[in-house]
Every structure is written in C-alpha cells, then in structure tokens.
Amino acid sequence: MVHRTLTVAMVLLVVAIVWVSATALDRDDPESPTSVSNVVAPAALDEQSRPTLKRFVFTVNGTERTAALHVPKGASSAKPMPIFVVFHGGKDSTARAITNNWSSMFDQGVLMVFPNGQRDRPDEPAWNVDDPADLQDVELTRELLRVLEREYRVDPARRYVAGFSNGGMQTMMLMCHASDLFAGAAVVHQTLHNHLAETCQPGRQVPLLYINGTADAQWPGRYFSRSAPDTFEWWSRRHGCKLKSLKREAMPDRADDGTTVERWRFGRCDRAQMEMLRIEGGGHSWPGSQFSGDDHCLDVDATREITDFWRSHAALGG
C-alpha cells in the first residue's frame, strides 16, 4: 500500500513538472535579451534617429498606451501618406525595433508607428496572442489607426503591418481578425499557433511576405504551433496559391555569415500574393540589421525585402 502511494505521488509530481514546463514554453518571446524599455528613450536611439521620432500617447478602453511615431518631412502636404504599423518582439522594445530594423525608411514619405505591448508587465512588453478569444490588441490596433487618421493625412488604401517574433504572431492575429485594415503584411521569425489556425476567419486575404530561418528554434514548430514550412503552406492555401507553381530561387550569398537565402514564390495565387524568404542557417534576428549574434543573416535586408514586396504586390508605390 505504501509502495502504491509513493508511486502515485511520483507520477503526480512528474505530471506537475511537465505542466509547469509546458506553460513556461507556451509563449512567443524571442531569444534576444530582455529590454526594460517600453517607450522610446532618446538615449537608446542613434543621433540620426532622435529628431525624427516622438512619443505618441493614445487611450484604448480607458487605458493609456504608448507608441513611437515617425512623421516624415512634408507630412502636411495635400497628398495622403501610407502608414506602417510595426510590432516588436516579446520582451523587446520599440527602440530596438526602430534603430536596428526600420530607421532606413525614415523620411521616405511614410507615417510609421511602433506601438508598445503590455502583456504580463509594462517593463517586459509583449502582445496578447496566446488566447484565441483575446482580441484586445486587435482592438488596440483599430483604435491606434483611428486616432492617427484623425491627426494625419493617411491613405486608408495603403496601410501595412509587419511584426517580428511575438509581433509576428500579432500580425497574423490581425490578418485573421482585422484583414480589412491592411493592404499588405509581413511576418518575420514566427510560426502559426494552432489555436489561430483553428479560429482564423479573415474577411479577405492580403499580400504576405513570410521570412524565417532554419536555425531559429521556432522553425520546426512546438507543441502549440506549426513548423515554418507548414505555416507558409497554410497561408499559401488561404491565399489561393497553386502549390505546383511554387518556384525556389537562390539569392546572392553576399556575406560570409554562414547563411544562404532562397526566395519561394508562386506563379499563381488567386486571392493574394504569398512569398517566403527561407534562410538556411538563419537564427532569431532581423535579417540585415545591426544585430551581432550567432546565425545572423546579412545576405538580405528584411526591411528592404518587405517594402519591395509591398511595392510590387500591395500598391505601396513610391
């Protein structure tokens, strides 16, 4: 009897350990170090970037939220501007997202906004993507666009969204639950959560560029998410892409960084264009950025690839 009691206790202990471990892993935080800045601190930005950004405050359901905003020169002209909404990774910050990834787009005639997530704790910002019924950050995005479009001349036909890691999952949430908001999207180093695949009901498909690397821990998928190739195929089917028309093109190996890149594109997509940059040996970082960790891809500039894709397939122009 004592032996049976001990056996049951051991089993329960193992189950508890597994459950706690699984719960801890059921997140979309990046492998990069934690940043405690969830607002744009001037000291965190380079000299060129500081004059072109401002802290933007808005309210969602009675709660004050913040973002970094870049207003391009000449924004007061009569011509409506496109807008980019960019979501940082989990436990990341807008400052890192801007300085490393998007400052090359400053003063290119685009209104750019980098909202701050507040899942869990304000000093460890992230996006609410773990619960299929939790659409509070979808509503945050709608309200942010409403506020910005009251203050600036934004072209509603040229809204675009991009996200890295946890921000990439937030981008996919928007593609499923608010596809009416955007003309184009980009997801970098993220895979599709199973719950979103089961609940996704987009009003329409928008052109999507998907970027991921084989050395990213998320590439093979996890117990709650699909692999990167499966994510690409899942979205491709919903975009009406003919899988037999898929072509794989080797891109120039421009840097001695241990990575190579293939562009996967379809000859035919009936609803919206879908492409992928498959980075062999690429890890969890924004390709082409100033990041200096292992498995970092310098063969392509993700920001340029995204904006070129939107120009070609999503009416960005310019």
pLDDT at 214: 98
Q: What is the pTM of this model?
A: 0.85
Strands 184-188 and 154-164 come out as: parallel
CA-CA distances (angstroms) from residue 65 to 46, 114, 127, 160, 251? 24, 11, 13, 20, 40
- Residue 222: strand pairing partners: 225
pLDDT at 12: 41
pLDDT at 28: 55
Positions in the chain short of pLDDT 70: 1-51, 93-100, 120-123
For the chain, strand residue ranges (E) read 53-60, 63-70, 81-87, 111-115, 154-164, 184-188, 208-213, 246-250, 260-266, 274-280
Q: Which domains can be identified in the chain, with CATH numbers?
A: 42-313 (3.40.50.1820)
pLDDT at 97: 66
Tens digit of each residue's pLDDT (9 = 90 or more) over 217-233: 999 999 999 999 999 99
